Amino acid sequence: KSFQISVPATSANVGPGFDSMGLALKLNLTLQVEESDQWEFMPPSDSDTPYEENFIYKIAKQIAERHHTTLPPCKVTEISGIPLARGLGSSASAILAGIEIANQVCHLNLSDDDKLRYGTEIEGHPDNIAPALFGGLVISTDFGEEIVHMDLPNLELDTVVYIPNIKLKTEASRKVLPEAYPMKTAVKASGVANLVVAALLQGDYTLAGRMMEKDLFHEPYRKELIPNYDTIREEAKRQGAYSTILSGAGPTLISFVPAEQGTTIANALQKILPDYNVKALNMCTEGLQVSY
């Protein structure tokens, strides 16, 4: 059996939608998978690393075990990837790829809801997993016993991502967050998040952008960890961006910009950010895909 799995990168939070809102981007993890007589991951991350330590392998094995079956060996070749530990959902994409490998080679017949549940359980929050699975902009929340998700209609927006050449682990970026928020802060933070959703649904991107930048859940605490946070925000605004916010837990920043203006704005910002990879990316309406 041989097949290809493709999972998009994602940008979680979308400002104040902390652990709840995320969108898929046209930047994919694509794997070619073939059943083989031994496990092999290409290109090898490091010749000393045994396949048992490969993250995707570990996920696939865990899913097979949950279904009381064994995972037949496969050769997995990465055709395209997502930069790691940059806030672009690389771990969610890898988790879904692992789940899908097990699904295919062990004939598990998993539904989307199963994949969402397993993925969210492994990652701890659904905001990258849901858009990576379904594509588009997805709002989701996890009650433990059920995960509620809703897809928003496609938006007429481009995005620009500013990927620095430093990594930041989500765990480190979550450590700086408060354990609790005063009632007044929580009320305002949730109001701001509600307005982002309402404004996006009405196509009022100016209001949506203003509210995205007013997040009170995480950006005020995380901005200290993010180089050039204010500079990028200000310059992107000058170039016509509606908003510039952290992508997931950072360190990548993402701007929402008028449709068709992504490349122009990315080029302008790349000039002042020589150490960054500044890219215009379209939103991706397709989530996890398998082709044979």
Binding site for ligand HSE (CB under 6 A): 12-13, 18-19, 125, 127-128, 170, 174, 218, 248-249
Nearest-approach distance from CB 172 to ligand HSE, in angstroms? 10
d(C-alpha 182, C-alpha 169), whole Å: 27
Q: Which is nearer to ligand HSE, 225 or 268 (CB)?
A: 225
Q: Which is nearer to ligand HSE, 64 or 139 (CB)?
A: 139
Nearest-approach distance from CB 219 to ligand HSE, in angstroms? 10
Q: For residue 50, which of 65, 42, 40 has the smallest C-alpha distance? A: 40
Q: Which is nearer to ligand HSE, 33 or 137 (CB)?
A: 137
d(C-alpha 18, C-alpha 174), whole Å: 11
Tokens representing 166 are 């430093």
Is 291 annotated for ligand binding?
no
Q: Which is nearer to ligand HSE, 215 or 235 (CB)?
A: 215
Is 119 annotated for ligand binding?
no
Q: DSSP secondary-structure letter at 61?
A: H
Inter-axis angle of helices 55-66 and 112-123, nearest 10: 120
Is 93 annotated for ligand binding?
yes
Helices (runs of H) and strands (runs of E) counted in the chain: 10, 11
Is 87 annotated for ligand binding?
yes
Is 88 annotated for ligand binding?
yes
Nearest-approach distance from CB 22 to ligand HSE, in angstroms? 8
Nearest-approach distance from CB 221 to ligand HSE, in angstroms? 11
Q: Which is nearer to ligand HSE, 19 or 142 (CB)?
A: 19
Nearest-approach distance from CB 50 to ligand HSE, in angstroms? 27
Coil, helix or strand at residue 282: coil
Q: 48 with 170: CB under 8 angstroms?
A: no
d(C-alpha 124, C-alpha 92), whole Å: 10
Is 85 annotated for ligand binding?
yes
Q: 49 with 85: CB under 8 angstroms?
A: no
- Feature table: binding site: 83-93
Binding-site entries for ATP: 83-93
